[in-house]
C-alpha cells in the first residue's frame, strides 16, 4: 500500500518546504496519546532516515518510520480550510474512530 496526498495537501507541503528553504518532504508518524490512543505527528524533514518508507504523491515526498507505518499505511491525506482553521485530514483505513476534537484516533481490532 502507500500514503497518498490530494493535490491541495501536496501544494501546502511544497509551500511550507519553500518557506523553510530546507527540506525534502513531510515526515509522518504516530504517537500514543489522547482519549482514543494515537495521534498523528508531522514534521518537515531534510532527508530520509534509515528504516523510513518513502512515498511520492503529486511530486511531493512523504516519509514514514517503520514503527508508524502499520498504523497509517493506505492513508489518503487532504489539506482543508474550515473558517480560520486549516489542517491535514486523514482518511485512514486502519482507524476505527476519532475523538470528538479529531486529535486522536483508535485502531480497528
Where residue 103 falls (left for φ over 0; alpha for ψ -120 to 50; beta otherwise) is: alpha
Q: Which of 97, 90, 64 is nearest to 6 (CA)?
A: 90
User: What does the mean pLDDT of the chain come to?
Assistant: 88
13, 58 in Cβ contact below 8 A? no
Fold that domain 4-107 belongs to in CATH: Hypothetical Protein Aq_1857; Chain: A; (2.60.300)
Question: Which sequence spans correspond to the domains of the chain?
Answer: 4-107
pLDDT < 70 stretches in the chain: 34-36, 99-103, 108-109
Q: pTM for this one? A: 0.85
| Predicted pLDDT at 107 | 79
pLDDT digits 0-9 by tens, 80-104: 998 998 989 889 998 887 766 556 7
Q: Give the three cell numbers for residue 39.
A: 495521534
**Residue 24 carries which DSSP code?**
S
What gap in Å lies between CA 62 and CA 35, rounded to an integer? 27
Amino acid at each position: 500500500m502507500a500514503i497518498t496526498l490530494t493535490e491541495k495537501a501536496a501544494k501546502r507541503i511544497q509551500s511550507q518546504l519553500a518557506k523553510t528553504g530546507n527540506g525534502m518532504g513531510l515526515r509522518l508518524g504516530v504517537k500514543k496519546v489522547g482519549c482514543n490512543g494515537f495521534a498523528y505527528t508531522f514534521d518537515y524533514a531534510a532527508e530520509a532516515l534509515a528504516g523510513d518508507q518513502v512515498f511520492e504523491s503529486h511530486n511531493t515526498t512523504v516519509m514514514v518510520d517503520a514503527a508508524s507505518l502499520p498504523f497509517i499505511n493506505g492513508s489518503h491525506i487532504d489539506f482543508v480550510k474550515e473558517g480560520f482553521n486549516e489542517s491535514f485530514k486523514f482518511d485512514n483505513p486502519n482507524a476505527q474512530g476519532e475523538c470528538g476534537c479529531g486529535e486522536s484516533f483508535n485502531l480497528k481490532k
